[in-house]
A and B are shown apart, each in its own frame.
Chain A
Amino acid sequence: MAKAILYDATKCMACRACQVACKQWNELPAEMTTNRGTYENPPDLSPQTWIKIKFIEMEKEGKLDWLFTRQACMHCTDAACVEVCPTGALSYHELGFVQYERDKCCGCGYCAEFCPFGVPKLESGRITGVGVMDKCTFCIDRVTNGLEPACVKTCPTGALIIGDRNELVAEGRARVEALKADGYSNAYLYGEDELGGLHVLYVLADRPSVYGLLEEPEFPVLASVRENIFRPFAWITWGVVAAGLALNVLVARARQVRGKEES
């Protein structure tokens, strides 16, 4: 039974307890940052920051609107990172989320370059390329032992809950309907169908783009070309070339061709 996290942007007050709890449970160090004129901090995800709250200030009907949204691995059903990972460090867990085994990472960083959400983060030597990627693990150690992920556990407003994905989709839909009835006509449940269904669902009061989310995230075409066409195609090509060359040699030998004896 697939699990999912439901994030309700309308219940989030951006206390960022989730950020702290994530760091605490996963033993991630704090980062030195500078004041950029916003509460949003750190500026982006990093190998040391697997979840953060994004702050959006905008004008709506002449008034300030302050929107919050959660930034972390979406745990896609069709995950480009899993497709391109050469070592199997990224894989699909039976509970639906994208499992990450850091010990297996070779630091190529292809996951970071192919993820439509730009979630996996890698710090590697510019010359040597030595480094390891990091991202949200869905708190696999907690979840597989009957506990909630650290971010969910700590959330004081109930903006984050975990449960069976089917149930949370129904819950999310109900919340979106309620928002629409309240006048939020653009309210939207993000992640229900995106990329085969995300394992982090978002209840949004407006269109995803307003929250800085991709309206229609797409599985990168080049990732599927590479995995589904090039890999088999390469071996077939080499096989055909080798067979053709072998045939050529056999024919030439059969006709008793010799290099030296020609005029």
Chain B
Amino acid sequence: MAMVERYTPSARWFHWLITGIFLELVLSGLLIFIPWLTSGMVGTWIRLIHRIGAVILVGAPVIFALVSWKRAWYFVREAFMWGKGDIGWLRAAPGYYFGGDPRLMPPQGYINTGMKLYRLAILFGGVVFVITGLILWFFKGVISPEVFQWCVIIHDVTFIVAIGMFFLHFQLAVFHPRMDEGLLSMVDGKVSGVYAKSHHGIWYGKITEKKEDSSATSS
């Protein structure tokens, strides 16, 4: 079976931009807690770099959405499209990811249930990050100390969860034998037909159907 396109060049560029900025924010968020490193101007710079990163991390999706609002809207909507296959995924996932029989996993769409959950977490976690971050940035000394303190704590919790989620994403894309085309697909945009069929059966069915349709009409 031939290779199929999974990620467009713009999606891949966007992914790696977000990856870079996310890691910059994680690092600057972590380093600020190392006293010998951050004292004085170094700490001031780290805080400034954190803010610049935040502007890019929020700004990039906004620009993406303005340029290509249909894709952005679908990106959000996709996470909310749940069906029978998702229940099946939840049942089969533990066995599947620990190397059980893949036939127990019901066919999945373009993104599977785990990806939907991940995307929901990113969407909601992102909103929490942005709201608390904006308050920490612009409302210091304006808003009541209690609210500020809560924002610090919530920003912390979201940070702790986000790093755990990053580990999961990294593990699946890079190390998990069952996702052995994960990383490469985000580099060159393609997955093999076999991989597409076994991991995203419903999606693979749709794109091959389309191809057959178009080849039928053109001939």
Contacts and interface: CB of A to CB of B under 8 A. Distances in A.
Interface of A: 86-89, 103-110, 112-114, 118, 122, 124, 126, 128-130, 220, 222-223, 225-226, 230-231, 233-234, 237-238, 241-242, 245-246, 248-249, 251-263
Nearest to A88: B35
A106 B40 contact: yes
Contacts, number: 149
B163 A258 contact: no
26 contacts: A86-B32, A86-B33, A87-B40, A104-B40, A107-B43, A107-B44, A108-B43, A113-B148, A113-B152, A128-B51, A129-B51, A223-B149, A226-B153, A234-B156, A234-B163, A241-B164, A249-B171, A249-B176, A249-B177, A251-B98, A252-B99, A252-B178, A254-B99, A260-B198, A262-B102, A262-B194
A231 to B, nearest CB: 8
Interface of B: 32-33, 35-36, 38-44, 46-48, 51, 97-99, 102-103, 137-138, 140-141, 145, 148-150, 152-153, 156-157, 159-160, 163-164, 167-168, 171, 175-181, 192, 194-195, 198-199
Contact of A259 (B47, B51, B103, B199): B199
B198 A233 contact: no
B167 A238 contact: yes
B149 A222 contact: yes
Contact of B176 (A110, A238, A248): A248
Contacts of B103: 263
B167 A241 contact: yes
A107 B48 CA distance: 11
A225 to B, nearest CB: 7
Contacts of A242: 167
Q: Top 6 A-B pairs ranked by shortest CB distance?
A: A106-B43, A255-B99, A104-B39, A88-B35, A262-B198, A252-B99
